[in-house]
Amino acid sequence: MLANAGVDFNVQMAGVDEDAVRTALQAEGAIPRDIADALAEHKARRVSAKAPEPLVIGCDQVLEFEGVSLSKSSARDEAAAQLRRLRGHTHSLLSAAVIYEAGAPVWRHVGKARLHMRAFSDMFLDDYLDRNWPAVQSSVGSYQIESEGIRLFSRIEGDYFSILGLPLLEVLTYLTQRGVLKE
């Protein structure tokens, strides 16, 4: 998304154990929004500690359903179970971005989108996963709205880019205000 928006950047893996951080935060009673924000901050902090000069953007996305944070499915049967749980209901995707500079946070935003999943049949679900697994394994809801996963939904409210995993418009606005991007 950043490349398509004309932003020059380098990717550095943060090396954060997301499952451990998520588990610890859930044990403390953190809400899904705060989990997304904390994961994004952990990533930005870790990279900024290695390279404090440039601005560092850390991002993470959490799926919230009935007040609970759901994780990516590691196996096809887990994805099917999660999609059965979500069908006919509304859930939210929370996409957090935190920007670090010189080892300290200077900006943060959590975008939110609400997705209304239609009540599809088990046959449709099996066929969908046959066609799209393992590609959707890397997606928190076991779907990608930019491809066939859009057919799982009856309505979507909110920012498209937040659904894809980055509150892009807000990040670009901040970078422009800071003078990193030209007007």
Positive or negative, the Cα torsion across 142, 145, 146, 150? positive
Please give the radius of gyration of the chain, using alpha carbons only, rounded to the nearest integer: 17
**Among the options 60, 77, 126, 159, which is catalytic?**
60
Asked if 94 and 33 touch (Cβ cutoff 8 Å), the reply is yes
Which residue type, as a one-letter code, is found at position 105? P
Neighbours of 131 (CB within 10 A): 11
DSSP state of 182: -
Distance between CA atoms of residues 138 and 181, nearest Å: 30
According to DSSP, the residues that pair with 65 across neighbouring strands are 68
Give DSSP secondary structure letters for 87-140: TTSEEEEEEEEEEEETTEEEEEEEEEEEEEE----HHHHHHHHHHHTTGGGGST
Active-site residue, 60 included: yes
Residues taking part in catalysis? 60
